[in-house]
A and B are shown apart, each in its own frame.
Chain A
Amino acid sequence: MHALGKVLRELNNYFKRFYMNHYETVFILNPVLSEEQIKETVKKYEDFLVSRGAKMIAKEDWGLKKLAYPIQHKKSGFYHLFEHAAENGDSINGLEVEFGRDERIMRNLTVSLDKHAISWAERRRARNNKKA
């Protein structure tokens, strides 16, 4: 039994090299920011993820959207989406701490994507590209 567990663990480690966990992060930026500040902020977090060993898969800019309820007395916000992949959650732990410290970020949400979510994200991207 012990030997079997060891073999399984080794197999798991072996296959881990070939796949990465996919994550999706959506964050809402303060609407009072200028266009340059927004670009700078998005760039900052993109660089942050890459520096922590994550791979950027897709970026989306949803633009200024109306919020369903006020957040920090604001009625709208700039929505941005990152899809990224990493071998472990280290990059995300750091990212969420940074988001929490940053006053420009009003909300953030990071979710891990399962296989159905990944295939849906791919189809969604293809559809959006076709539209654009």
Chain B
Amino acid sequence: MASIEQQAKGKKDGEIRYLTPLNIETSKAKKYCMFKKSGIRYVDYKDPDFLMRFINEQGKILPRRLTGTSLKYQRKVAVAVKRARHLALMPYVADLLK
């Protein structure tokens, strides 16, 4: 273990050094596709409560980088949301939906 003086004179400039290693959780929970995980084969447009998980507060469809949905099911989710909107089961535009 290097002394404080030695650490302060570290070779790399601007590098922050700590006396004790910080205990921060850096690994995030892995996202997963809930359709693949729970074996759902068909995304039903008649169930707006379920589709609520895939839209944001304004009623926009969330990207799959946020929800973790696989490409195959993201396409189906998008179609289902659009069908639900057409039938006024879900809003096209909204505010403070959640």
Contact = CB atoms under 8 A, between A and B. Distances in A.
A120 B88 contact: no
Interface in A104-132: 107, 109, 111, 114, 116-117, 119-120, 124
Given A120-B42, A120-B44, A111 B86 contact: no
Contacts of B92: 69
B88 A71 contact: yes
Interface residues of B, number: 17
Report the interface size class on chain A.
10 to 19
5 contacts: A71-B88, A77-B88, A109-B83, A109-B86, A116-B41
Interface string B73-97: 0000000000101111111111000
Looking at chain A's contact residues, is the secondary structure mostly helix, strand, loop, or mixed? strand
Interface of A: 26, 28, 67-69, 71, 77, 79, 81, 107, 109, 111, 114, 116-117, 119-120, 124
A69 to B, nearest CB: 5
B87 A120 contact: no
B91 A68 contact: yes
